[in-house]
Structure 1
Amino acid sequence: MAPQNVFSMFRQSQVQEFKEAFTLIDVNRDGVIEIDDLKSIYGNLGKVPADSELKEMLKEAKGPLNFTTFLNLFGEKMGGTDGEETIRSAFAMFDEEGKGVLPEEYIKDLLENMGDNFTKEEIKQTWKEAPISKGMFNYVAFTAKVKGKQDEEEMAKA
């Protein structure tokens, strides 16, 4: 069976959003996301992971991380492979105490000021479904919700 064209996996508007995200991450604009690009983008977020963690992220691409590969990775993740753990791990990088929650205001600040900035209305819409309690955003429950599932352990925590 021939492999599916990655561009046909997404609506045109989604491809454009992914292209904007890719361009944001590809800091040096060479068409490939490399470790220095990741260091720069994480530096803008206030915390740069160890080189070993960044290298692990890039290993998922199984080759140069160009835009087509970037789309393929999203297609795999959205298709229900190991995306849930990857998303959770991305949030966990900012959770130094490992509690599974981050301050709501911190997340709002990131959404308003990093990358493709969210408007106040977009944040309001997102927050309608977000698991927030006592000013803390539960990224473990949120990740399960985004992926359309919650395993028994996560449901017990939520």
Structure 2
Amino acid sequence: MAKFFKPNQMQEFKEAFTLIDANRDGVICINDLKEIYSSLGRIPPDSELESMLKESSGPLNFTSFLNLFGEKMGGTDGEETIKNAFAMFDDEGKGTLAEEYIKDLLANTGDNFTADEIKQTWKEAPIHKGQFDYKAFTAKLKGREEDQN
């Protein structure tokens, strides 16, 4: 599955994995998920977190993490899953999140992004009038452009 990803994607996935693996044991567990969700202001019920972990065929280590993303990105529902992850923080269902909110999350949760890392990430981020368009971003992740309606 690792051949499927570009080097910059691999780095991004490694950073995401490290961010989620709060106890740094190399495996994402329910407590890691609780920690990351808590830092984002939401703690889903254990049943929801357990369901997420069951998507992996075994312990959710980095290889399993990559395989899950590969399956989701290559599958028919991967894009919807990614959009739904962003949508959890979009209470109004607008399809966008405040740019400053996303920057704050990057700078202050998990492996904090430096100002330069945020600047690099933002170079191609779909931002319009201070709003991060996560639907367009997800489409870009999936290798297509979002249809503009």
Aligned partners of 1:42 and 1:49 also within 8 Å? yes
Structure 2: any 5+ residue segments left out of the alignment?
none
Closer, same or farther in 2 for the Cα pair 1:49/1:103, shift >3 Å? same
- 1:67 corresponds to which residue? 62
Closer, same or farther in 2 for the Cα pair 1:34/1:129, shift >3 Å? same
The equivalent position to 1:139 in structure 2, one of 113, 134, 149, is 134
The equivalent position to 2:92 in structure 1, one of 68, 92, 97, is 97
The equivalent position to 2:119 in structure 1, one of 116, 121, 124, is 124
Aligned residues: 149
Aligned partners of 2:22 and 2:110 also within 8 Å? no
Instruction: Output the amino acid matched with 2:22.
Output: V
Deviation at 1:139, TM superposition (A): 0.8
Closer, same or farther in 2 for the Cα pair 1:127/1:82, shift >3 Å? same
Aligned partners of 2:73 and 2:79 also within 8 Å? no
Deviation at 1:102, TM superposition (A): 0.8
Structure 1: any 5+ residue segments left out of the alignment?
1-5
Is 2:45 the counterpart of 1:44?
no
Is 2:113 the counterpart of 1:112?
no
1:14-73 per-position Cα deviation (integer Å, ceiling 9, x unaligned): 656644543432333444322221001111222222333322321221332223211211
CA RMSD of aligned residues (A): 2.8
Instruction: Output the amino acid matched with 2:104.
Output: D
Q: Secondary structure at the match of 1:129?
A: coil
